[in-house]
Amino acid sequence: MPLTSEPLSISGIDLPPGTVVDLCDQSSDVEWLSVPQDSYVTILGIKLTGRMNFERGKFEYGTLFEATVLGGRQLPRGAVISYDDVYRASPR
């Protein structure tokens, strides 16, 4: 997406300008995103930036945009988290 474009939503994710998106073959599911370091997307309630990978549209892993408490642990900006990290931290 151009840096001057309006935000766009794909697969329920609001993408900021400058985001690079790769979709899965023969579907509109996101395979990976690359979000500019000064921007973020919110996935599963967590702000993420940089490269994020997905499996058939389901979040697999990405990098924290800001320091975040996850599962009772303080994680710094730039920490890599996975879907399992978020799932384990969620109340059941």
Give residue-wise pLDDT tens across range 49-92.
Answer: 999 999 888 899 999 999 999 988 899 999 999 999 887 766 55
Query: In angstroms, rounded to a whole number, what is the distance separating the alpha carbons of residues 69 and 76?
Result: 9
Of 86, 87, 77, nearest in space to 40 by CA: 77
Query: In angstroms, rounded to a whole number, what is the distance separating the alpha carbons of residues 39 and 20?
Result: 12
Query: In this predicted structure, what is the pLDDT of residue 4?
Result: 61
Length of the chain: 92
pLDDT one-digit tens code per residue, 41-50: 999 889 999 9
Query: In this predicted structure, what is the pLDDT of residue 8?
Result: 80
Domain ranges of the chain: 8-89
Query: In angstroms, rounded to a whole number, what is the distance separating the alpha carbons of residues 17 and 3?
Result: 5
| pTM for the model | 0.84
